[in-house]
Structure 1
Amino acid sequence: MSTTIQQQKIVLVTGGSRGIGKSIALHAAERGLGVILTYNNNPEKGREVAEQIRASGGKAVALKLDASLLSSFDSFTEQLRAVLKSEWNRDEFDYLVNNAGIAQRTLIKDTTEEVFDQLVTVNFKGVFFLTQKLIPFITDGGQIINISSGLARFAFPGTAVYGALKAGVEGLTRYFAKEYADRKIRVNSVAPGAIDTEFGGGKGDESHRQQIASMTALGRLGEADDVGAFVASLLSDDSRYVNAQRIEVGGGIYI
């Protein structure tokens, strides 16, 4: 009787060195996926996550990616292809999680054109063009998950541009699902609610955190692992008929 060796499926998680991205990478590895994670300014953190996965018996590689520098996407793609070949003997990968992003903490009246452009480049333009660049290397029947935000649904002062861009990413999600339907590539967006991480410069004071928690049906702020575990659960055939959807992981905030 012949046996077929099933090759390990691989996920690429951008911004995988900390917070939600780190949690996604760790939970994906726990489910048996090979992990390629990216970091930008902190290579040590990226390598620590990869080493943590390897120490637990998984396979992981950390690569540098500056999501604000679109001219670097070609060289990143070449690095990715080299790693796929050297580590997995493959030319393609299975899942892309577009998680890398930057936050906003400026009211509309204080938002400069420079801040606006930086937010657009990283949170929208970078997502579009990186996905465009990488989708030829995603297997038919694979999946793309775009990390959005609850701020695409509800408004919070100081996050107007960020929230609007995340709404735009949710729109892109549907268009990518439509245009790559012939390859059976599913494209979904996951929108975290109020998550207790350092994203955007800190967790805020305790009274503010308690106020946000009181607006959430489950009565607490989310943790990175609440999102990471859910995203990892989508990266399987269990979600094979979920496509072009926006799924909010927010504990029932602002309902």
Structure 2
Amino acid sequence: MTRLEGKIALVTGGSRGIGRGIALRLAKEGALVAVHYGKNREAALDVVETITQAGGQAFPIGANLDTTSGVEQLIASLESELFNRTGQRQFDILVNNAGIGTSSDLEKTTEEEFDRVFAVNVKAPFFLVQKSLPLLRDGGRIINLSSGVTRIAYPHIMAYNMTKGAINTFTLHLAKLLGPRGITVNAVLPGIVDTDINASWLHTEEGQQHASEMSALGRVGTPADIADAVAFLASEDGRWGTAQLLDATGGSHL
């Protein structure tokens, strides 16, 4: 599979979970992948090593996306790395995957927690796109990771749910803005996915049963399930779809 041969992709939060799956998948398709991490450089290096051992190309890139200065650091590092490796500063695919969750309900959410989840999940993608536009090639791809909670009422994590609603709106308007450049903008909406974030409750008999029963397909999602959807949107096969919210929940709560 080499649908992305010659393409360069940046995957934020690419060192673990869904982001790791996406980085591996895009590299398998032939893309040179910048694997972004926030704090865990070792995890990012592990992804890079896995990709290179499989014959792909990747490099790690670190930045804390809690602040706009972190976004600026990420862009500066990306430009430098790309120029050193390829002699150019442009890239083709931006996957806004990095995000944080919250375990607090409406009554217990603090202002600090609210501000941080919006900073990472909404503010960072907004300014990352803004500062990436001069580097993103015409005909490129922007793929935002949203969530199935934007169509399934789950009020126990209200602030997080609101951030993903904002991402859906961002996707719609950004697609209109960048259409004249041939850049498609889409969002992928995962449901429950078997990652380390969910491991504490999902890796129990009760958790597995509960999560599986949510899906029309009768199982829990995997990072590969989400990564395959992203790879389609990133490829030429996905060229005619933009402003789409691709449900990747396995038919949860139909």
Say if 2:105 is the partner of 1:107.
yes
Q: CA deviation at 1:131?
A: 1.1
Alpha-carbon distance between aligned partners in 1 of 2:110 and 2:49, rounded to the nearest angstrom:
40
Say if 2:71 is the partner of 1:73.
yes
Q: Is the 8 A contact 1:197 1:203 kept in 2?
A: no
Alpha-carbon distance between aligned partners in 2 of 1:159 and 1:145, rounded to the nearest angstrom:
23
Q: Is the 8 A contact 1:102 1:200 kept in 2?
A: no
Q: CA deviation at 1:73?
A: 2.1
Alpha-carbon distance between aligned partners in 1 of 2:71 and 2:126, rounded to the nearest angstrom:
12
Alpha-carbon distance between aligned partners in 2 of 1:200 and 1:173, rounded to the nearest angstrom:
26
Q: CA deviation at 1:253?
A: 0.4
- Counterpart of 1:227 in structure 2 is 226
Q: CA deviation at 1:179?
A: 1.2
Alpha-carbon distance between aligned partners in 1 of 2:155 and 2:166, rounded to the nearest angstrom:
18
Tell me the alpha carbon deviations over residues 43-92 of structure 1, each in whole angstroms, 9 at most, x when there is no partner.
Answer: 00001101111111111010002111211222321211111111122220
Structure 2 counterpart of 1:62, from 60, 63, 79? 60
Alpha-carbon distance between aligned partners in 2 of 1:159 and 1:228, rounded to the nearest angstrom:
24
- Counterpart of 2:40 in structure 1 is 42
- Counterpart of 2:252 in structure 1 is 253
Alpha-carbon distance between aligned partners in 2 of 1:200 and 1:103, rounded to the nearest angstrom:
11
TM norm structure 2: 0.94
- RMSD of Structure 2 on Structure 1 (CA): 1.5
Most deviating of 23-32 and 224-233: 224-233
Tell me the alpha carbon deviations over residues 165-203 of structure 1, each in whole angstroms, 9 at most, x when there is no partner.
Answer: 101100000111111122111100000011111236744
Question: How much identity, in percent, do the aligned residues show?
Answer: 40
- Counterpart of 1:214 in structure 2 is 213
Structure 1 counterpart of 2:186, from 171, 176, 188? 188
Could you say what secondary structure the match of 1:96 adopts? strand
Q: Which runs of 5+ in 1 are unaligned?
A: 1-5
Pair 19,235 (structure 1): closer, same or farther in 2 beyond 3 Å? same
Alpha-carbon distance between aligned partners in 2 of 1:203 and 1:30, rounded to the nearest angstrom:
31
Pair 130,200 (structure 1): closer, same or farther in 2 beyond 3 Å? farther
Number of equivalences? 250
Structure 1 counterpart of 2:10, from 9, 12, 32? 12
- Counterpart of 2:133 in structure 1 is 135
Moved over 3 A (4+): 200-205
Could you say what secondary structure the match of 1:198 adopts? coil
Say if 2:30 is the partner of 1:32.
yes
Q: Which runs of 5+ in 2 are unaligned?
A: none
Alpha-carbon distance between aligned partners in 1 of 2:163 and 2:193, rounded to the nearest angstrom:
19
- Counterpart of 1:82 in structure 2 is 80
Alpha-carbon distance between aligned partners in 1 of 2:208 and 2:5, rounded to the nearest angstrom:
44
Q: Is the 8 A contact 2:7 2:92 kept in 1?
A: yes
Could you say what secondary structure the match of 2:42 adopts? helix
